[in-house]
A and B are shown apart, each in its own frame.
Chain A
């Protein structure tokens, strides 16, 4: 029997296997940021251990950094301490660190790919659950906790139980205005926030193959929202073309490509589970509730909990509607929005900014809302400015910010107020995620842009 792509990558990284023990798996790239690493470095100091492979490790500042006035010291003293601690740890242990103000600073999952450090067939980890993003290149990439960060720093390996495999086949063509964000939101609504637990998901099918690398990253990024630690896509010419010319692309590119071309699921391999989705029936998709599985087509209504058969799901829907301040049955397009957030590791790449700018160009955002545009990295910001996208957003009345995680998790000053309602291109609509008492609807960049113009949840087709 053949192997799935995930099984092939796993097998190539097993350092040691023993009966009744987890496999010891080698890690090719370790990404670090300020929030989940401090305690790991402390652990190294306490035990007198070193960082085994600083040359396979890279750090940047993203989670808590401000997106305004970045040339001044960080105003929040606790955030400043966390960032200073990262800088000191990187200096002590010889780790490359891209700090605020550096052109390679940014959201860690945008930085890795843009430097060409994310390549097919690798194992990649980071103390952040959205590490699954890097799976878009055909690598096995997943989020880890701080104890595991320390483990990787010390040994460049992790003891791991072999995951099961799930195929999600998305065949057919997407309708105009439907994006990769709509694909992944529809998948999560279908399989649930726990549907992928214990699995690595491989996204397959003609609709996936037709996506750009940026769009593939959006899909893989939210694998964790379906409960899967990792999601990946087999590399192809689109992948190779993206990597070519990046700073850390392989010097012997042809031999790398020859290897990358072996990275696919064998035709006789068997997945533990398969899920099929028709691309052509998908529509722009938004969330109405407080977990990413509580979503629906933008053209539909908020659900009536009485119609939900499962008792647990019904209770969760009732609580979610109360928190979100929505009446059962409200048409989603009638929901008025206070803040539009365009950014994050899900949708803060150049393609996302271009798509939104295309919708907004020459128009003004609604007077009833504010719009924050936060590029995923300093490089994305520079690229966008070279194309004049900053002017498009500023002329429309939006705020053009510096790179960081920003309002996706509201750890820096970019937060929602109590009761404030956002249309957000980020990945989590949990209670209070974007600020205590804030309400979040997850949307694609196209829906974010159209919503900014109309003031209510909208797609470009509504303009």
Chain B
């Protein structure tokens, strides 16, 4: 996985709350068996509206999405993260993310940043007033900054370290394979197994 230390880019204001993963990418676009090519499904229903923010020239090159509260609710589809990344987004800012979406994003290196709703509103106003406003999401200092505004955000130390090192979870877990083997010896006998098949 690519390291994430800091990203600076222009931002896209998505003034909607409860943007569920069916909006981020509808189910009919989930049929690929690869991790790429999902950008065509990103916000597919809304993109047919010429007024939709991603269709506005001023926001075409945006790499930071600034969304309303409860972004990523609903389905666990990681395709939602891939669609945002395939389209070119590096970070999403919101006052609240759904748990599964947030987990998926941080596994895959799409930084999801939580700031207060009032700070989201102020950021929306700033990027609507000037779409060329540069927004910097800095994981090292745990801050979002634009113009003269600096907003701190929380992220647990472990996830921050993993993202900054570009490490994937499986590689880290495999180092503890002995602990897993040891644990398996203590599992109770009546726990079910799928094999051999019983009918």
Q: Give residues in A with beta carbon < 8 Å to B.
A: 15-16, 20-22, 24, 26, 28-29, 35-36, 38-39, 42-43, 47, 49, 52, 54-58, 63-64, 76, 78-79, 81-82, 85, 96, 116-117, 119, 122, 127-129, 142-148, 150-151, 154-157, 159, 161, 193-194, 197-198, 224-225, 227, 229, 247-248, 250-252, 255-256, 259, 291, 312, 315-316, 319, 409-411, 428, 430-433, 436-437
B33 contacts A by Cβ under 8 Å = yes
Given contacts A81-B33, A159-B173, A193-B73, contact A255 B190 (CB under 8 A): yes
B contact residues, range: 35 or more
> With a CB–CB cut-off of 8 A, which chain A residues contact B157?
20
Q: Which of B101-144 contact A (CB under 8 A)?
A: 103-104, 107-108, 117
A20 and B199 CA atoms in complex are apart in Å by 45
A78 and B33 CA atoms in complex are apart in Å by 9
Closest 9 CB pairs of A and B: A145-B104, A145-B78, A38-B33, A143-B76, A250-B190, A147-B107, A78-B31, A129-B76, A55-B195
Q: Does the CB pair B70–A432 fall under 8 Å?
A: no
Q: Within the complex, what minimum Cβ distance (angstroms) separates B113 from chain A? A: 16
Q: Does the CB pair B190–A129 fall under 8 Å?
A: no
B5-45 Cβ-contact flags toward A at 8 Å (1 or 0): 00000000000111010110011101111110000000011
B77 interface neighbour in A29, A36, A43, A54, Cβ under 8 Å: A36
Q: Does the CB pair B22–A432 fall under 8 Å?
A: yes
> With a CB–CB cut-off of 8 A, which chain A residues contact B187?
26, 28
Q: Does the CB pair A145–B31 fall under 8 Å?
A: no
Given contacts A38-B33, A54-B195, A259-B190, contact A316 B75 (CB under 8 A): no
B34 interface neighbour in A39, A58, A255, Cβ under 8 Å: A39
> With a CB–CB cut-off of 8 A, which chain B residues contact A55?
193-195
A432 and B75 CA atoms in complex are apart in Å by 14
Q: Does the CB pair B100–A143 fall under 8 Å?
A: yes
> With a CB–CB cut-off of 8 A, which chain B residues contact A155?
170, 173-174, 177, 180
Which B residue sits closest to A432, measured CB to CB? B45
Q: Give residues in B with beta carbon < 8 Å to A.
A: 16-18, 20, 22-23, 26-28, 30-35, 44-45, 68-70, 73-79, 81, 96, 98-100, 103-104, 107-108, 117, 156-158, 168-170, 172-174, 176-177, 179-180, 183-184, 187-195, 197-199
Q: Does the CB pair B170–A150 fall under 8 Å?
A: yes
Q: Does the CB pair A39–B35 fall under 8 Å?
A: yes
Q: Does the CB pair A129–B183 fall under 8 Å?
A: no
Given contacts A26-B183, A35-B30, A410-B27, 16 further A-B contacts (CB under 8 A): A20-B157, A26-B180, A36-B78, A39-B78, A43-B170, A47-B170, A57-B194, A145-B103, A150-B170, A155-B174, A198-B99, A251-B190, A291-B18, A312-B68, A316-B18, A410-B28
Q: Which among B107, B170, B172 has the highest number of chain A CB atoms within 10 Å? A: B170
> With a CB–CB cut-off of 8 A, which chain B residues contact A142?
100
> With a CB–CB cut-off of 8 A, which chain A residues contact B70?
193-194, 227
Q: Does the CB pair A157–B194 fall under 8 Å?
A: no
Q: Does the CB pair B104–A15 fall under 8 Å?
A: no
Q: Within the complex, what minimum Cβ distance (angstroms) separates B100 from chain A? A: 6
Given contacts A79-B31, A144-B76, A197-B96, contact A428 B179 (CB under 8 A): no
Q: Does the CB pair A409–B27 fall under 8 Å?
A: yes
Q: Within the complex, what minimum Cβ distance (angstroms) separates B13 from chain A? A: 14
Q: Does the CB pair A430–B23 fall under 8 Å?
A: yes
Q: Does the CB pair B23–A64 fall under 8 Å?
A: no
Q: Does the CB pair A430–B20 fall under 8 Å?
A: yes
A158 and B69 CA atoms in complex are apart in Å by 27
Q: Within the complex, what minimum Cβ distance (angstroms) separates B162 from chain A? A: 9
Q: Does the CB pair B96–A194 fall under 8 Å?
A: yes
A151 and B18 CA atoms in complex are apart in Å by 28
Q: Does the CB pair A428–B20 fall under 8 Å?
A: yes
> With a CB–CB cut-off of 8 A, which chain A residues contact B173?
24, 151, 154-155, 157, 159
A117 and B197 CA atoms in complex are apart in Å by 11
Q: Within the complex, what minimum Cβ distance (angstroms) separates A5 from chain B? A: 17
Q: Within the complex, what minimum Cβ distance (angstroms) separates A374 from chain B? A: 16
A139 and B27 CA atoms in complex are apart in Å by 28
A252 interface neighbour in B79, B81, B96, B189, Cβ under 8 Å: B189
Q: Does the CB pair B191–A122 fall under 8 Å?
A: yes
Q: Within the complex, what minimum Cβ distance (angstroms) separates A429 from chain B? A: 10
A142 and B168 CA atoms in complex are apart in Å by 21
Q: Within the complex, what minimum Cβ distance (angstroms) separates A229 from chain B? A: 5
Q: Does the CB pair B99–A316 fall under 8 Å?
A: no
A82 and B79 CA atoms in complex are apart in Å by 14
Q: Does the CB pair B195–A127 fall under 8 Å?
A: no
> With a CB–CB cut-off of 8 A, which chain B residues contact A194?
69-70, 73, 96, 98
Q: Does the CB pair B99–A197 fall under 8 Å?
A: yes
A148 and B170 CA atoms in complex are apart in Å by 9
A430 and B23 CA atoms in complex are apart in Å by 8
